[in-house]
Amino acid sequence: MNEAAVMPAAGAPEGIDATRRKFLTLATGATAAVGVICAAVPFVESWNPSERARALGAPVEVDLSKMEVGQLITAMWRQQVIYIVRRPQNLVDALSRNDAELKDPHSDDSDQPDYAKNEMRSRTAEFLVTIGYCTHLGCLPKAFFDPGDPLLGADWPGGFRCPCHGSRYDMAGRVFDGSPAPANLVVPPYSYRTPTALVIGTDNGSAQGSA
């Protein structure tokens, strides 16, 4: 066989190598671009608060527009259960009658923002917002909003009773004498972005709320 017949034409190797080099260059560039994008994703995501950061203190917004009078709903803030109660006006009007039976009627030794250090322990008469843990050992009190409840007696004014050790609280979260709980329910910081948008975890915004 004539060796010259199987030899590549002049310049062919250079052409093949050039094509291969171009392909490798493009492939390398594409791989590098993908790497940059992949590296950027965690960086961009880091601009947003993580689940842990939100759990540690990001404000939580709650829609109050569908709440009925006498209803309790719950929310989670800082991994704590928050009680939100739309109180009947007649029970709000009766709060002062409880003072003589309470451990801390003026909330002097209890935990709440300054704007909730009042008889209602709230920004407004309509809504009570409180951390839902008994101040004794941290159980979740149950709601007994009907005055004169059969379980709690004819003189019961409406409020909460802890199922663990019997601590009782009125409709402002104030603890009754004779309860093992030492203090009133804790009130978290909160405000209203709109009259029906409650924001738990921040004092910024409106002080007014109405559903």
Q: Give the tens place of pLDDT for each residue, 82-110.
A: 999 999 999 999 999 999 999 999 999 99
52 Cβ neighbours under 8 A, 6+ residues apart: none
Give the pLDDT of residue 49: 46
Give the pLDDT of residue 204: 77
Q: Dump pLDDT digits (tens) for 170-196.
A: 999 999 999 999 999 999 999 999 999
Q: What phi and psi, each to the nearest 5 degrees, are found at residue 5?
A: -70, -25
CA distances 97 to 102, 162, 180, Å, are 10, 21, 21
* Contact (CB, 8 A) for 67 and 86: yes
DSSP element (H, E) containing 32: helix 12-45
Burial class (CB in 10 A: 0-12, 13-18, 19+), 185: buried
Residue 1, beta-bridge partner list: none
Q: How confident is the model at residue 17 (pLDDT cuts 50, 70, 90)?
A: low
The CATH architecture to which 60-200 belongs is 3-layer Sandwich (2.102)
Domain coordinates in residue numbering, the chain: 3-45, 60-200
pLDDT at residue 31 greater than cutoff 60: no
* Complete DSSP assignment for 35-47: HHHHHHHHHHHTT
pLDDT at residue 168 greater than cutoff 90: yes
pLDDT, mean over the chain: 82
Sign, CA torsion 139/142/147/152 = negative
